[in-house]
Structure 1
Amino acid sequence: MGVTIKDVARKANVAPSTVSRVIANNPKISAKTKAKVQAVMEELGYYPNVNARNLVNNRTNVVGIIMPSVSYAPFQNPFFPEVLRGITAQANEKKYGLYLSTAQTDKGILEEVIEMYYSRRVDGMILLYSTVSDPIIEFLLDKAFPFVVVGQPPEALSGQVSYVNNDNVKAAKMVTEYLLLLKHERIAFVGGREEAYVTLDRKKGYIEALEEAGMTPDDSYIVHHDEIFEGGEQAVIELMSRKHPPTAMIVMDDLMALGVLRMLFNMNISVPNEVSIVSFNNVLMAELATPPLTTLDIHIHELGYRAAELLQKRIADPEAPAEKRIISHKLIRRETSAVYSGERR
């Protein structure tokens, strides 16, 4: 027979109810008593029955992680493993588990979220993407279920939704201004899926920077492709076929930028001598690229950590007002950006 709460209480010379309160981290129990009981638990090899405790508390101690559909290749893009690393760091601190969505389509993801809610499989959810029209957000708001978005929620719902994001308008504006300072005038914007808020916000910042510089944005320099390696390759083919191809490109993320670099190399176009490249995210592959990528560090790990932290607050108090966290960004200058030399016309 295994060790019981009564065994721990007897050894620690406290009441069984005190042991239960220590397990539940009751603030009314003194630090000295907690330490003594925890030492006895470790000595006796006692592990609390988490499932039984969760039934009493009406909690699962599990958080649902909602990924984009497989059609957007989330596991090919290093952004998602890194943001998950931030979430798991907070989960480890607070001792709760994660349930990762596995649906393959947008419809399947919605169905899985509905099933998670009605089965009470999770205590809350973190959405790792945000789009203009997302029925998942509307469903969760209607059910008053705790959730947090990594990204910008729909403007009409921003006061109702807790979210963690970068200031993507400001970030893209800064990157564009940086390229303008490097004497580039034909600057292309390589965006991801058009309905994603991160794409819309960064495109807005790009356009604002050009307009403030007295330039008229050229729609032919704005393209959208999937945020994968092949998407970057396709963007280069499209842009470099222009009569006056760009001398610089702002690329949605580092994975796409690798595709951009590969295709430019295959076209015998020199980076940065003929074309400068600046991307977003600053994942490890950016530093290891050839040449190393100039990129905007958006602190992905912190995005995940703060989202998990914010969700814990929502779970503890679902009636509290919605909150937001804006994570800083930093330009990391490497070898894919340089002053325009005028070599390519």
Structure 2
Amino acid sequence: MAVTIIDVAREANVSPSTVSRVIADNPRISEQTKRKVREVMDRLGYYPNFQARNLAAKSTKTIGVVMSNSTSSAFQNPFFPEVIRGICVSAHAGKYGIYFSTGGTENEIYEEVVSMVQGKKVDGIILLYSRVNDRTMKYLKEVKFPFTMVGRPYDFEHEITYIDNDNEKIAHEVVKYLQVLGHEKIAFIGGDLDFVVSIDRLNGYKKALSTIGLPYEEKYFLRDSDMKLNGKEAIQKLMDLAAPPTAIVAHDDLAAYEVIRYLEELSYEVPEDVSIISFNNHALSAYFKPPLTSVDISIFELGLEATNFLLGKIQNPNEAVKHHLVSTTLIERESCKKITTSGE
């Protein structure tokens, strides 16, 4: 027969209501009583019915985590396990569980989020992306459901709590770093421009070129669609230019790995023939050949702080909107080299 709260109360010589308050960690119960009741719970093997308690309290003690595409494909990108590690640390500290979205398309994600909200499956939601004209984000804002974002919102930036990097600034710094190394022909492999992070990094690249007196040339910009359609052909076309790039900025480490592989197949060496730099600084970047110069964007902290912000909004729905830009660090490795210009 299952152990009940009454059995625990009898054994601990307290009332059932006191046991309930211990389970809820009520501050009015002394630490001595809490310790005694918890020892009895452990000894008798009593496990509280948190689902029933949360239902009574109109809380699920669960947060929803929504990715830009299905979990099966998202987890192929090292960004997501690391950002989710940060989420888990904060959620565990707050005694919250996690509900992952499984939708694979924009419509499926939207429908699942609506189901989470209307079905009261979660107390709040973290969007691990910021998409242009995202109906899911707009829905959450309209129904005033607690949510935070990893990424600067495309719309309503001053009305939504989010955490991000200063993506324009770090793209600017990457280009400046290459210019100091002597590079003037700098190509950019862009991400999907449906996402704000890709727009911001491209804008940072363009502004940096302007700042250092170099023109933006469309021939040095490869779109995400170019790489997906035929990446090797796109890189071949780039390197066949009359003035090929001496350096390439990739929108993340995965894209950089892909570019390096295509360059090797085309008999180009990194960094002897062309330097490569990227963003995210995944764990494997240090072990790639050559070790990849990359911007560490503090992925763990993005997840941790997004969750901290969300739990604050859940506990206080009237909490002020917050924006936080996480610091970044350029990690220099062996994929970039200094060159001399023809005039030197």
Q: TM-score range by the shorter chain?
A: over 0.9
What are the within-5 Å matches in structure 2 for residues 282-301 of structure 1? 282-301=281-300
**Deviations 1:29-54, CA, capped at 9 Å, x for gaps:** 23332222222221221111011101
Cα distance change, pair 176–82 in 1 and its aligned pair in 2 (3 A): same
Q: Identify the residue that residue 339 of structure 2 maps to in structure 1.
A: 340
Cα distance change, pair 194–237 in 1 and its aligned pair in 2 (3 A): farther
Alpha-carbon distance in structure 2 between the residues aligned to 1:19 and 1:317 = 27
- Confirm or deny that 1:142 pairs with 2:151: no
What are the within-5 Å matches in structure 2 for residues 118-157 of structure 1? 118-154=118-154, 156-157=155-156
Alpha-carbon distance in structure 1 between the residues aligned to 2:88 and 2:39 = 26
- Confirm or deny that 1:183 pairs with 2:195: no
Q: Residue 194 of structure 1: CA displacement?
A: 1.0
Q: Identify the residue that residue 194 of structure 1 maps to in structure 2.
A: 193
What secondary structure is seen at the aligned counterpart in 2 of 1:108? helix
What are the within-5 Å matches in structure 2 for residues 167-246 of structure 1? 167-225=166-224, 233=232, 235-246=234-245
Alpha-carbon distance in structure 2 between the residues aligned to 1:203 and 1:177 = 14
Q: Identify the residue that residue 76 of structure 1 maps to in structure 2.
A: 76
Q: Identify the residue that residue 33 of structure 1 maps to in structure 2.
A: 33
Of 226-235 and 136-145, more deviation after overlay is shown by 226-235
Q: Is the 8 A contact 1:193 1:199 kept in 2?
A: yes
Q: Identify the residue that residue 117 of structure 1 maps to in structure 2.
A: 117
Q: Residue 235 of structure 1: CA displacement?
A: 4.9
What are the within-5 Å matches in structure 2 for residues 58-69 of structure 1? 58-69=58-69
Cα distance change, pair 192–135 in 1 and its aligned pair in 2 (3 A): same
- Give the aligned residue type for 1:119: G
Structure 1 segments unaligned to the other structure (5+ residues): none
Alpha-carbon distance in structure 2 between the residues aligned to 1:274 and 1:108 = 44
Q: Residue 199 of structure 1: CA displacement?
A: 0.9
Aligned length: 342
Q: Identify the residue that residue 18 of structure 2 maps to in structure 1.
A: 18
Q: Identify the residue that residue 308 of structure 1 maps to in structure 2.
A: 307
Q: Is the 8 A contact 1:77 1:228 kept in 2?
A: no
Q: Is the 8 A contact 2:279 2:297 kept in 1?
A: yes
Structure 2 segments unaligned to the other structure (5+ residues): none
Cα distance change, pair 339–72 in 1 and its aligned pair in 2 (3 A): farther
What secondary structure is seen at the aligned counterpart in 2 of 1:149? strand
Q: Residue 185 of structure 1: CA displacement?
A: 0.3
Q: Is the 8 A contact 1:8 1:40 kept in 2?
A: yes
What secondary structure is seen at the aligned counterpart in 1 of 2:36? helix
Q: Residue 230 of structure 1: CA displacement?
A: 8.3
Q: Residue 271 of structure 1: CA displacement?
A: 0.8
Cα distance change, pair 297–188 in 1 and its aligned pair in 2 (3 A): same
- Give the aligned residue type for 1:142: E
Alpha-carbon distance in structure 1 between the residues aligned to 2:87 and 2:225 = 25
- Give the aligned residue type for 2:23: I
Q: Is the 8 A contact 1:239 1:246 kept in 2?
A: yes
Q: Residue 86 of structure 1: CA displacement?
A: 1.5
Q: Is the 8 A contact 1:160 1:321 kept in 2?
A: no
Q: Residue 69 of structure 1: CA displacement?
A: 2.4
Residue identity over aligned pairs, in percent, reads 45
Q: Is the 8 A contact 1:83 1:303 kept in 2?
A: yes
Measured on the aligned residues, the alpha-carbon RMSD in Å equals 2.2
Of 3-12 and 16-25, more deviation after overlay is shown by 3-12
What are the within-5 Å matches in structure 2 for residues 83-122 of structure 1? 83-122=83-122
Alpha-carbon distance in structure 1 between the residues aligned to 2:225 and 2:73 = 9
Alpha-carbon distance in structure 1 between the residues aligned to 2:233 and 2:91 = 38
Alpha-carbon distance in structure 2 between the residues aligned to 1:322 and 1:44 = 45
What secondary structure is seen at the aligned counterpart in 1 of 2:159? coil
Q: Is the 8 A contact 1:64 1:126 kept in 2?
A: yes
Cα distance change, pair 220–183 in 1 and its aligned pair in 2 (3 A): same
- Give the aligned residue type for 1:224: R
Q: Identify the residue that residue 4 of structure 1 maps to in structure 2.
A: 4
Cα distance change, pair 62–233 in 1 and its aligned pair in 2 (3 A): farther
Cα distance change, pair 30–236 in 1 and its aligned pair in 2 (3 A): farther
With the length of structure 2 as denominator, give the TM-score of the two structures: 0.93
Cα distance change, pair 234–68 in 1 and its aligned pair in 2 (3 A): farther
Alpha-carbon distance in structure 2 between the residues aligned to 1:220 and 1:70 = 33
With the length of structure 1 as denominator, give the TM-score of the two structures: 0.93
What secondary structure is seen at the aligned counterpart in 1 of 2:219? helix
**Deviations 1:213-272, CA, capped at 9 Å, x for gaps:** 122222221222169998865652342232211110111111111101101111111211
Q: Is the 8 A contact 1:69 1:103 kept in 2?
A: yes
